[in-house]
Amino acid sequence: MPELPEVETVRRDLQRRVRGAVIERVEVRNPGSLRGLAPRPFTGEIRGRRFDGFARRGKHLLCALCSGDTLVVHLRMTGVMLHQSVRDPLPAMARIVFHLRGGRRLVFADQRKFGTMELAADPLSLPAIWKLGPEPLGRTFTAARLRDALQGRTGPVKSVLLDQSVVAGLGNIYVLEALHRAGISPKRKACGLRQAETARLHRSIVAVLRAAIAARGSSVDTYRDGQGKRGWFQVQHRVYDREGKACKRCGAVIVKEQFRGRGTYWCPGCQR
């Protein structure tokens, strides 16, 4: 599923290939993807505009239009943003299609229809954006800041790291991968981590995200980049989707358990 590294990969693809493109027409094939907004004002505001640039905040893709408005996209579990030629077959799960001048299009496809997009004059006015915690690859995300955020949180560290107001952009895959690298069990109480463990966790989060971006993300299931290609970080996973396999660090068998309604992978041998 698209988390920070996947959304960042798509952002870079679109920045390189779609920036400057003019939208001739918007096709709304699934109005539900527009988060309750009626299709008519949506298409009307976008038609004829130019994509000025692509930014990212957490897992949100921010598409700036020349009108000053921003198209805020969240891919959730199965969303993809595919830049293709009009000669290419339209994906079966195409939900919103931006027909671009010059024979190309930008397709928002989404199997499970959980993904959303909305138009905002100022993205910071959206709760989903202003409530976000620090960018884990930004200067404000320090070990001290992570330690502060975990203080007073009695829930399991895995759940707390999935809270987007603590750190922005982590999902199930990278939380579990970071916890393994840090040697910390997902079930540990967040506020119970020692300072050295918090420091290790901070380093692990940064390291795993950087490595995943370098590998263009994890294509465990439906994730694809802006050209429809797979990422390859999944082959570097140490716990996620590795149930029953040997831990690459200590050799113990990786276990999977439903924990708080989510599949949770960890190594009982080296995660304490």
Partner DNA sequence: AATCGTTCCTGATAGC
Partner DNA sequence: TGCTATCAGGAACGAT
Interacting residues toward DNA by CB under 7 A: 1, 3, 32, 58-59, 74, 76-78, 93, 111-114, 127-128, 152-156, 159-160, 162-164, 171-173, 190, 258, 260-263
Alpha carbon distance 254, 267 (integer Å): 5
Intra-chain end-to-end CA distance of the chain, in Å: 27
CB of 71 closer than 8 Å to CB of 77: no
Alpha carbon distance 209, 56 (integer Å): 14
The answer to whether residue 256 is catalytic is no
Task: Tell me whether residue 100 or residue 128 sits nearer to DNA (CB atom).
Answer: 128
Residue in 2, 5, 136, 156 annotated catalytic: 2
Minimal distance, residue 20 CB to DNA, in Å: 28
Name which of 164, 214, 231 is nearest 2 in CA terms.
Answer: 231
Residue in 11, 56, 59, 147 annotated catalytic: 59
Residue 160 to residues 68, 76, 165, Cα–Cα distance (Å):
35, 19, 9
Cβ neighbours for 102, distance < 8 A, ≥ 6 positions apart: 21
The answer to whether residue 31 is catalytic is no
Residue that is written with structure tokens 């989510």 in the block: 262
DSSP state, 233? Answer: G
Minimal distance, residue 89 CB to DNA, in Å: 15
Minimal distance, residue 42 CB to DNA, in Å: 18
Task: Tell me whether residue 151 or residue 227 sits nearer to DNA (CB atom).
Answer: 151
Residue in 187, 203, 230, 262 annotated catalytic: 262
Minimal distance, residue 165 CB to DNA, in Å: 8
Task: Tell me whether residue 100 or residue 265 sits nearer to DNA (CB atom).
Answer: 265
The answer to whether residue 3 is catalytic is yes
Name which of 208, 209, 263, 269 is nearest 241 in CA terms.
Answer: 263
The answer to whether residue 262 is catalytic is yes
Alpha carbon distance 253, 239 (integer Å): 10
Task: Tell me whether residue 1 or residue 213 sits nearer to DNA (CB atom).
Answer: 1
Minimal distance, residue 272 CB to DNA, in Å: 20
Write out the two tokens for 233. 């970080």
> Phi/psi of residue 268, each to 5°?
-70, -15
Report the amino acid identity of residue 18: V
Task: Tell me whether residue 46 or residue 128 sits nearer to DNA (CB atom).
Answer: 128
Minimal distance, residue 106 CB to DNA, in Å: 21
Task: Tell me whether residue 138 or residue 152 sits nearer to DNA (CB atom).
Answer: 152
Residue that is written with structure tokens 């400057």 in the block: 20
Tell me which residues are annotated as active site.
2-3, 59, 262
